[in-house]
Amino acid sequence: MIRAEEDTVKHPTNALISLQAAQVALVLDCREGRLPEVVHWGEALGALSDQELLALAEANISPVVSNMVDLPVRVAILPAHSAGWLGRPGLSGSRDGTAWSPQFTVSALQLDGHAVEGLPEPQGPVVLQGQRLIVQASDPAAQLGLRLEIEMTDSGLLRARAELQNQSTQPYQLDELNFAFPVPLAAQELLDFAGHWGKERVPQRSRMTVGSHLREGRKGRTGSDAATLLCLGKQGFCFQQGEVWSVHLGFSGNHRHYAERTFHGVQLLGAGELLLPGEVRLTQGQSYQSPWVYASYGQGLDEVAAKFHRFLRELPGRASKPRPATLNVWEAVYFDHDLERLLGLAETAAHIGVERFVLDDGWFLGRRDDRAGLGDWYVDPAVWPNGLAPLVGRVGELGMEFGLWFEPEMVNLDSELARRHPEWVMATGDRLPVESRHQQVLNLAIPEAYEFIRDRMVELLTEYSISYIKWDHNRDLVDAGRQPSGVPSVHEQTLATYRLMDELKARFPELEIESCSSGGARVDLGVLERTDRVWASDCIDPLERQHIDRWTGQLIPPELIGSHVASTRSHTTGRRHDLSFRAGTALFGHFGIEWDLNAASAEELAELADWIRLYQQERPLLHSGKVVRVDHADPSLLIRGVVSADQRQGLFQLAYLSRSEFAPRGRFQLAGLDPEARYQVRLLAPGDKPHGLVAPHWLTQLSAAASDDTQYSGAALQKVGLQLPEASPEQIVLLKLSAL
């Protein structure tokens, strides 16, 4: 809430604020009534005196050079045109062409819940340290109020959001609101992500130059090709080395990430919601609250990721129980729902140790293919004459949780819902949007549509023991307007989806939700505030998933990444893989199965049961430890692992993707270990040993009974390493490390 002027203190804005946590510091210059200006964002500076911080702030003021404005250009966290900044503004909008270049004056600061009273000049600024700063500001001429929240979380992750209020009787149209964080010019290399359906989060690197690197998402959802994170680092940064700064917008609708370098030596990373024309039009007293912009700094990409991982693990309401081994039946039955067949799947799944059974698309009214039924969330009596009770009941008797698929934001025109309420379909002008997967988008921003979908879901969740929802979203939003006016409604639709998730979680506190969106097209911290895992991709070919899961892990920890054992022949690529490669890949996520177990052999089921037992044994480590991705020169090999917080345990995976140009391959080093500790290294080999395995001398010794005494220092494993085993392509070797 934006505070009235009379609530402010006398000298609130003459202050230097330092936010610090987890060896990261953000120093803000809040003097002279200006919006906060970042003096430093990066490695913690140690204990600095007030005088030293003041000197640092003074040293940050740029000189006045030829052909620029006659005062130093001060770039605030919300960059302002009125301050002489001619790059991308933090705030863009107008009131019928006026109030388009606001100049905000800060009227109050609050640090960690306490008002900050600045000292009058010439006594100098007050210098304070904390973790959460709230800034109140206004522009009386533009008649705009502003409230900023800037927080350094316990994990060292920085986040900020803004609330903008129109204080005029005339409407104000907001076009953009972006936060921007300065990054040193020494950071010259960009990393973000591209991709498409079935091949999400493909990394791409480029060199930063003068100008803007702009990534926009206009799909109405995060998108398979989303930037996900925009990273800017020192040349050659990798997983373990090199300073890296990154931003991520925690929002599931249209979005913007950008990096900007100007000719006068300023370099910024920024992000904000992408608003469609006229989408946010504020009348008097109305406010717009931006999504959270997250920013992470670290030495190497693994440190950047670790800050996101810890933050997500500590979110209130995050499911704390062990992540259950899951069977999803989509690739087993598709739309062909038959009770006896599904019961057989459930029996087999329970026998091998599966803990959650998920019924996918096809259970509701008229849903025999993807051309009809969306929106009619009633159990189809033609397929389920006794409802879902026989299946749900038997799944519970077998000791498994039951999950159900929904796509609440979508509608088929061939549905009772669309026939009764065509005005609930999102559309612009006098036309319907082009169809995608034979479906349209249901406008949940319409209260009646929202209430209908909510009530149907509540009825089903009340009637049946459903502990888990696979929440899908299978199309981009095109011409996403609200009938009859056609005004754009992506912003409202995104917020309505969040409200629906929040309301269901409030009514059913034990309910878990998976964010699925044509696979991995909705992976962001906005949806992850409300969900318990994401489906990283519809492609579960393990060769593809090695890369997809590796880079999805740049934002989210393994336990939130749904990673399943595919069928012998992948449904998306047609490739065939050994069970050990499929299961070994799935092990480093939230383990599940997407396979017709009724068609599996007894030998395959026995091996799969071994992998499930291994997952259950190792998930306390896999789902709590620090993710380690090892930098290795040979692209035919990927090495990843998880190391416990106390560095006493580690589980590492050597994934052989293709034939190498080297034979033998040479040494590999590990990372994330305690250099002073002594580790025992042992081979984990559920099922058949990797095809083509040729063990080096140390591994041959390891298999001997006398090898129990073989140990290596953490320093040696990280700096010298071990000779790589040889193996055929598309094989996995697992190594367990235990400190002695």
The two tokens of residue 636 are 């035919």
| Residue 183 contacts residue 76 (beta carbons within 8 Å) | no
Length of the chain equals 740
3-state secondary structure 59-72: HCCCCCCCCCCCCC
User: Is residue 81 a contact partner of residue 101, using CB atoms and an 8 Å limit?
Assistant: yes
Q: How many angstroms separate the CA atoms of 250 and 160, rounded? A: 10
Clarify whether 538 is annotated catalytic.
Answer: yes
On whether the CB atoms of residues 593 and 326 are closer than 8 A, the answer is yes
- Distance in angstroms (rounded) separating the CA atoms of residues 398 and 535: 25
Q: Which residues pair with 450 in a beta bridge?
A: none
Rounded CA-CA distance 46/43 in Å is 9
Take residue 10 and report the two structure tokens written for it: 């006398």
302, 380, 472, 476: the catalytic one is 472
Q: Which of the residues 524, 538, 541, 549 is marked catalytic?
A: 538
Buried b (16+ CB within 10 A) or exposed e, 435-459: eeeebbbbbbbbeebbebbbebbee
Residue 293, Cβ neighbours under 10 Å: how many?
29
**CA nearest 525: which of 291, 338, 369, 718?**
291
User: Catalytic site residue 112?
Assistant: no
| Other CB atoms within 10 Å distance of the CB of residue 645 | 11
Measured CA to CA, the distance from residue 472 to residue 492 in angstroms comes to 18
At 338, list the tokens.
Answer: 């038959």
Q: How many CB atoms neighbour CB 526 within 10 A? A: 24
* 3-class SS letters over 170-188: CCEEEEEEEEEEECCCCEE
Structure tokens at 605: 């089921």
Q: Kindly give the pairing relationship between strand 590-593 and strand 561-565.
A: parallel
Tell me which residue of 404, 538, 392, 549 sits closest to 468, measured CA to CA. Answer: 404
| CA pair distance 284, 168, nearest whole angstrom | 5
Q: Give the position of tokens 């599904």.
A: 342
Both tokens of 648, joined, read: 């006493």
User: What's phi and psi for 669, nearest 5 deg?
Assistant: -110, 155
Cα end-to-end distance, the chain, whole Å: 55
Cα radius of gyration (the chain)? 27
If phi over 0 gives left and psi between -120 and 50 gives alpha, with beta otherwise, what is residue 481?
beta
Which residues are known catalytic residues?
Answer: 472, 538
